[in-house]
Each structure stands twice: as C-alpha cells, then as structure tokens.
Amino acid sequence: MAGFLTSVVTVAVAAGGAVLAISAARGDSSQSEARGAYALDFTMNRIDGTSEALEKYKGKVVLIVNVASQCGLTPQYAQLEELYEQKKDDGLVILGFPANNFGGQEPGSNDEIHEFCTGNFGVTFPMFEKISVKGEDKHPLYKLLSTQPEPLGGEPTWNFTKYLVDRSGHVVAHFDPRITPTDPQIVDVIDEYLER
C-alpha cells in the first residue's frame, strides 16, 4: 500500500496558537523506508523477575510503551490490552515498561504494579520490571530509542510514549503519549507492518 503513514505528525503549539514545529514521515512501498537501530538486543527482567531476551520477539511487530499507574493517561492500559487482544494473532506484541520518571506517577513495587494493571485493566501483554526511561540512569533500551532520529524515535515526553519496532527488530515509528493506542494514527501503521 503506497503512501502509508510511518509515524505520527507531531505539532507543537505556542500559547497563542502558533504552530512551532511539525514533523512527519511518510513511507512509500516503492521507495526504501527509514528504519532506526536494532532494538531487540537487550535482556530484560519480566515483572515477575524472570529474565527474558527481547530477541524472542523478532518476527513480531513490537509496540514498546513506558507505563505508569497514577497518570491521567493510565486508562490507556485498557486500550493497549484491547489492541493486543485484537492483533496478537496477527503478530503484534506490546511490551510495557513501568517507569517513575514523570511526576512520580509510578511509585509502586513491581508486585504492586503487576497487581494494579492486571486487576484493574486485565493486562495480559508482557510487562517488565520498572526501569528509568530518562535521565542519567536511563536504561540502555531507552538510550537507544531516545537517540533515534525524529520521527522514528526521540525522548519520551511523558508516560505512555509509544515506539514501534518492525518484524526485523528495527525502530520504525514513535507516537506521542496523548495519541491513544486505538487511534487510527497508530493502528493504521501497525496494520501496515503486520501485513509484511
């Protein structure tokens, strides 16, 4: 499908309504598409402490999300789970990484986070131990994601920033936290990569 959107349009608006910046990337199946670095070369701990190589997700389309339990965007857990249930048999996996970097909105222990997201939102997609996604103690996975060129990557701006990784394990898109997981801006891009 020619002309599919490979990343979200990012618009920054000043207080007076002036547009400060717009960034977007469009792909065309007849041209080579921008891909970022290989993102699955990390071994992480699942939320239960079990070690897992992200390499096991190669061949899947992967949505990486930094999550939090006490954020205004926390209801996105339900939409992430909905998206996962709808698309997992087609090859989508969502990886949740709790982080306490934004407003102290993920203060709980790994056990508390697991109980919260499963008990309140029925989360079944893979959840990992709490990590840091910005600052001096930023996890190497997020160092890689945040140093990818815009619009493929970039710094997470808040909880529920989303990064998309293609079946070959490369970063291909980055979505603003306020864009919900079931928004067509995300779903259409995921569907395009699932079809490959």
Tokens of 118: 């499963």
Name the β-bridge partners of 92. 61
Using an 8 Å Cβ cutoff, are 157 and 151 in contact?
no
Q: Element (H or E) spanning 187, and its range?
A: helix 184-194
C-alpha to C-alpha distance for 127 and 2, rounded to whole angstroms: 34
Domain-embedded: residue 11: no
Domain-embedded: residue 19: no
User: What local confidence, expressed as pLDDT, does residue 10 receive?
Assistant: 38
Domain-embedded: residue 156: yes
Q: What is the DSSP string of 126-164?
A: -BB-----SSTT--HHHHHHHTSPTTT-----STT-EEE
User: What local confidence, expressed as pLDDT, does residue 16 receive?
Assistant: 34
User: What local confidence, expressed as pLDDT, does residue 49 receive?
Assistant: 97
C-alpha to C-alpha distance for 23 and 153, rounded to whole angstroms: 12
Name the β-bridge partners of 171. 165
Q: For each of the chain's 196 residues, which pLDDT tens digit applies?
A: 433 333 333 333 333 333 222 233 333 332 346 899 999 999 999 999 999 999 999 999 999 999 999 999 999 999 999 999 999 999 999 999 999 999 999 999 999 999 999 999 999 999 999 999 999 999 999 999 999 999 899 999 999 999 999 999 999 999 999 999 999 999 999 999 999 9
- Domain count for the chain, please give it: 1
Domain housing 137: 34-194
Using an 8 Å Cβ cutoff, are 62 and 96 in contact?
no
Residues whose CB falls within 8 Å of the CB of residue 139, separated by 6 or more in sequence, listed in order: 97, 131, 132, 133
The enclosing domain of 186 has a CATH number of: 3.40.30.10
Domain-embedded: residue 81: yes
Domain-embedded: residue 14: no
Domain-embedded: residue 161: yes
Please identify every residue annotated as catalytic.
71
| CA angle (145 as vertex; 141, 147 as ends), nearest 5 | 115
